[in-house]
A and B are shown apart, each in its own frame.
Chain A
Amino acid sequence: MRALMIVAALLLPTGLAFGAIDFSNFHNPTQVQTEMENLVSSFPTLARIETIGTSLEGRQIKALKISDNVSTNEPNEGDVIFVAAHHAREWISVEMTLYLAEYLLTHYATDSRVRADMDNLQIWIVPIVNPDGVVYSWSSWAGICPTDPSNPRYWRKNRRVNGDGTFGVDLNRNWGFEWGLNSGSSPNTNNDTYRGPSAFSEPETQAIRNLVTNATNLKALVTYHSFSELFLRPWGYSTSDPPGESTLKSISDRSIAAIAAVHGHTYSDTIWYTASGETTDYLWGSKRTAAFTPELRPGPGGVVGFCPPPSEILPSNQENLPAALALIHDAGAREVWIKDHPADTGQEPSAVWTSSGWSHAFWESPDIWTVPATLDQGATVDLHVRMHNHSGGPVHDVTVDVYYTDPRISLEFPNPNATLIGSWTGTVPPAGREVTLPWSVPIGTNSWGERHWCVGAVIKHANDMPLTTEAQRTSNVGIRNFNTTEIIAAGTLNIAATNYLAVASELLVNIDRSSIPEGWKVFLPEKPIGEYKVGGVKGIHRKAKLLDSKGILLEPGETVNIPIRVEPPHDVDPDKPVDIRVHGALVPLVAGKRDVVNGNGYTFRVTGRKPCRQCEDR
C-alpha cells in the first residue's frame, strides 16, 4: 500500500492549482521573484528562470521560460515573448504576466490546446523589464495613491544617472528602430520620454533585444503597459500603416473582441500621437515579428490611473488572458500549410542560411501551379493549390484565399493592391487536399511594363490564424524574372530585387549551383550596384563600411537590376533545359547579431540555344 501511494504521488501532476497566486494586491519586486520561483519549483520540467541581463543598478532581469523540455533550447519551436514594466509605475502590467504564466503552467496537464501550444513553443515571460525603476516606484509606497506626479510612485524611466543632475531614460523610447525622432521622444534628460544618448544605450533594453535576437524562431512579442485600455500595434513612430497592416489589424481586432467578451471593456486601437524608438516598431520594422502593446486598466483619466485599486488586477488579467492565449496559439505549428520548396516539412524557418549557402530553393512553391504551365494573356487556366495537414485528423472550415498581385507594388497577401482570384472553404483530410480555382490571366502588363504577376495563397482557419499564414514571410525581398517565358536562352538573365524592409539592408544573392550540370558557368556581376563611397555620402554607405558589408546596399523600397551571365558548354544539347535557381535575402544594416531575412527566389529554365538576337546576326 505504501509503495502504491509513493507511485501514485510520483505520477500525480505536481504543482499549484490555478488561482494559487494571490492577485488581491500588487506584487512588489521581491514577491514577483518569489512567485516565479514557486512556479518553477511546482513545475520544474515546464518552467525555469533565466537571467537575461543586469540593470544599471546591478539588479538581475529575469525571464521565466515556459515550454516542454524547458531546460533544452529547441530551435525548431516557435518563440513568443511577453514583457511588462518597461515603465516603472505601471504595476498592473506585471500582474498580467504572472497570471499568464500561472495559467499556462497549471493548465498544461488538463487543457490539450495549452499543452499542444507549450509543446510547440518556447514562451518567454519577463515580468519586470525595468527593475531599478520599479524598486524606486515602490520605495515610498504607503498604500495610498498620491496625486502629485513627481511622487516616486509615478516614476516612469529607469534610474540612469544622466550626469547633469537628472535621472532616467525612457526604456520604451530607447529601442533601435526610428530612434531619435523628436516627434515621439525627447532629447532632454529631464523629460519623461527621454530616449537616452543612443539607441539601446540601456542595459535593460539590451537585455530584451538580446532575448529577441537569440530567439531562433520568434513569432510574436507582447509588451504590457498601462493605462487607458488600448490595444496598440505598429507603427508607433508614424501615423501611416506599416507593411502587413492587414495581418496586424486582424490580430488586433480579434484581440480587442476577445478582451471585450470577458467583462465588456472595449479597448481602443487608436491614440493619435506618435512614440518613436518603442518596442513594437523595432520588432516589426527590423524583424518583421508581430508585436503589440496592450495598455491595461483603468480607462482614461489622470495620473492616479497608474495607481488603480487592487480590485482591478484580476478583471484586467482575466480580460487580457484570452487574447494572449490566442496569440500563443497563432504562433504554434500550423496544421495546414503549403510547401515553399519540395523538402519543406511545414516547420519554419523553411530555408536557412548555412556556411555553404541556402539550404533549399524557396518561395518557388511546388504547391501552387497552373495548368497549362505556360500562360497566355486573357486565357482562363486552372490554378491549383495543394494543402498538407499536420494535425493527424481532418481540419474543418479551412478557407483558402488565392490572390494575384503586381510584384512591383507588393508581395503582401492580402494587400489592397492584390486581386482575389477566388476562395475555397472546406475540410482538409489528413492526407491533404488539392483545390482548383479558375483564373483569368491578366491582360496587359504590370506597373513596370512586365507580363509578370505573383500568386499567393492565404490559409485561414481557427487553429492557424494570421501568424502562420504563408503571407508573413514573402514580403521582404522580391527577386524575379523580367519575362515570364518558361524557357529562355542562355545569355544574360535579368533579375530585379527590391528591399521591402523598412530599414536599409544588404542584399545577398545566391545561385544554387548544385542544380547546374558540369560545364555550365553562371556569373554574378562583380560590382552590380552599390559601390562604396566614402566622404560626405549617405549614411547607408558609412553603415556598410562599419559592418564591412559585401552585399548590395539597398535603401527601403529601393530596387536594383542584376544581370546574371550564363555560359553553356560548347557541346551543349540546345534543347535540354537547365534549372538555374537564384535566391535573395536581406540583412538589415543594424548593429549586433544581424539576422538574415529570408526573401524569395526564381527558377530560370535555361537552354543552350543562343539568344535570338545573336541568331539573327548569324
Chain B
Amino acid sequence: MKIARLLLCWIIGVIFLGCEHMAEHGVGNAVNLDPNDPRPVLRISIDDGDEIDLLRQQLKVEPIYVKDGQLYLSETKGIREKLDELGYRPIQMTPLDVYERVVRIERRGAESEMIQVGVELINREPHYWIVRGTLAQLRALKRLGYQLGTLGPNEPAPREVRIVVPTTKDVQQVNQLHVDIYSVEETKLGIIIYGGAFDAQIDELKAHQYVVERMPVTKQEVKP
C-alpha cells in the first residue's frame, strides 16, 4: 500500500515535471483550431465606425472584426434579409478563413517556409515563434508537421525599444507601424521615441532604415 502511494506520487511528479518541461522548451498546450462560433459568417462593406455602431444597435449584428473596410459578422436569423433591405450585399465566408489565433509554433527549419502558408510572424522566442493566423492557415501548418501551442500568460511580449528619428514625420511613421509609443522627446541627437514593439514591427522599422535599439530587461529592477 505504501509502495503504491509512493508510486502514485512519483507518477504525479513525473507528469508535473513533464508539463513544466513542455512549457519551458516546447510550445505549451494544444490549440483549439475549431471556429469560435459554429454559426456562418457574413462579410459586408462599411464606411466607418459609426456605421458599425448603428448596425450593432439597430440590427443587433454581432461584429467579429473589421479589416480593410470589411465587417465580418455572425449570421443570425433574418439578418441577411435585413441587410439586403438596407442595400448591403452580404457575402458568406468560411469561418476557418475568418477566425484567427495567436499561437506558439515550434521553431523548425527556415522562418520563411513557415510564413509561406500566410501566417503573420509576431515574435521570435528562443524555442518557438509566435504567429497570428486564420484557423485554415494554422491547420495547414499542423498538417505540415509543426507543433502548435497556446500562448504563455504574458504573451506576446513587446520589447522595449528606443528609436532616434530625424523628423516629426518619422514619429508618425513609427506610429503607423503600431508601435506602442510611451514617450517622444526632441533632443540635440534627434527625436527620441521610447515604445513597445514586437519583433515583426522591429523588422519593419529596420526596413524603413530606422535605427532601433532594443532596451535590455535588467535583472536589477528599478525601485520606485
Contacts and interface: CB of A to CB of B under 8 A. Distances in A.
A269 interface: no
Contact of A183 (B47, B53, B65, B176): B176
Interface in A194-233: 197-201, 227-228
Given A197-B64, A591-B58, A543 B50 contact: yes
A546 B56 contact: no
B50 A227 contact: no
A456 interface: no
A542 B198 CA distance: 39
Interface in A295-327: 299-310
Contact of B154 (A152, A184, A198): A152
A179 B182 contact: no
A309 to B, nearest CB: 5
Interface in B140-193: 150-151, 154-160, 162, 168, 171-172, 174-176, 178, 180-185, 191-192
Interface in B101-133: 101-103, 122, 132
A277 B53 CA distance: 13
Contacts of A545: 86-87
A149 B160 contact: yes
B55 A546 contact: yes
A199 B52 contact: yes
Contact of A150 (B46, B157, B215, B221): B157
Contacts of B132: 164, 188, 190
A197 B158 contact: no
Contacts, number: 212
Contacts of A592: 53, 57
Interface majority SS on B: helix, strand, loop or mixed?
mixed
A151 interface: yes
Contacts of A305: 182-183, 194
Interface stretch (A52-60, A475-483, A531-539): A531-539
A5 B160 CA distance: 63
A183 B48 contact: no
Given A190-B122, A273-B171, A273-B174, A303 B63 contact: no
Contacts of A534: 85-87
B178 A150 contact: no
A537 B87 contact: yes
A589 interface: yes
B78 interface: no
Given A300-B185, A547-B58, A189 B178 contact: no
B53 A591 contact: yes
Nearest to B222: A145
Interface in A276-305: 277, 299-305
Contacts of A180: 48-49, 52, 66
A145 B176 contact: no
A130 interface: no
A274 interface: yes
A474 interface: no
Contacts of A301: 182-183, 185, 194
Contacts of A165: 31, 101-103, 150-151
A584 interface: no
A203 to B, nearest CB: 13
Nearest to A535: B87
Nearest to B123: A190
Contact of B183 (A147, A177, A228): A228
A591 B103 CA distance: 36
Interface majority SS on A: helix, strand, loop or mixed?
loop
A156 B195 CA distance: 13
B5 interface: no
Nearest to A228: B183
A197 B159 contact: no
Contact of B53 (A149, A198, A308, A538): A198
Tell me which of B50, B89, B196 has the highest count of chain A C-beta atoms within 10 A of its own C-beta: B50
B100 interface: yes
Contact of B184 (A273, A309, A590): A273
Contact of B50 (A191, A541, A589): A589
B218 A188 contact: no
Interface string B197-224: 0100000000000000001111001111
B101 to A, nearest CB: 5
Contacts of B16: none
Interface in A43-61: none
A147 B196 contact: no
Given A147-B217, A182-B176, A187-B65, A543 B52 contact: no
B80 to A, nearest CB: 15
A92 to B, nearest CB: 11
A193 interface: yes
Contacts of B180: 156, 191-193
Tell me which of B57, B182, B192, B198 has the highest count of chain A C-beta atoms within 10 A of its own C-beta: B182
B49 A179 contact: yes
A144 B176 CA distance: 32
Contacts of B57: 591-592
A179 B48 contact: yes
Contacts of B65: 187, 197
Interface in A508-540: 533-539
Contact of A543 (B51, B89, B162): B51
A183 B172 CA distance: 8
B222 A144 contact: yes
Interface in A531-580: 533-539, 541-543, 545-547
B178 A186 contact: yes
Given A182-B176, A190-B122, A150 B155 contact: yes
Nearest to B84: A535
Contact of A145 (B59, B63, B223): B223
B97 to A, nearest CB: 14
Given A164-B100, A183-B176, A309-B224, A148 B157 contact: yes
A271 interface: yes
A198 B66 contact: yes
Nearest to A310: B224
A187 B224 contact: no
A146 interface: yes
B88 interface: yes
Tell me which of A154, A187, A198, A305 has the highest count of chain B C-beta atoms within 10 A of its own C-beta: A198
B192 A149 contact: no
Interface in B54-108: 54-59, 63-67, 71, 85-89, 99-103
List of 7 A-B pairs having minimum Cβ-Cβ separation, nearest first: A179-B49, A539-B47, A150-B157, A273-B175, A300-B185, A300-B183, A192-B180
27 contacts: A145-B221, A145-B223, A146-B221, A147-B215, A147-B216, A148-B160, A154-B196, A156-B180, A179-B50, A180-B52, A182-B176, A183-B176, A190-B102, A198-B71, A200-B53, A272-B171, A272-B191, A301-B185, A302-B160, A304-B222, A305-B182, A308-B224, A537-B87, A539-B46, A539-B50, A546-B51, A547-B54
Given A148-B157, A197-B63, 9 more contacts: A145-B221, A149-B158, A184-B175, A187-B66, A274-B175, A303-B196, A307-B222, A541-B87, A546-B59
Interface of A: 143-152, 154, 156, 163-166, 176-180, 182-184, 186-193, 197-201, 227-228, 239, 271-274, 277, 299-310, 503-504, 533-539, 541-543, 545-547, 589-592
Interface of B: 31, 36, 46-59, 63-67, 71, 85-89, 99-103, 122, 132, 150-151, 154-160, 162, 168, 171-172, 174-176, 178, 180-185, 191-192, 194, 196, 198, 215-218, 221-224
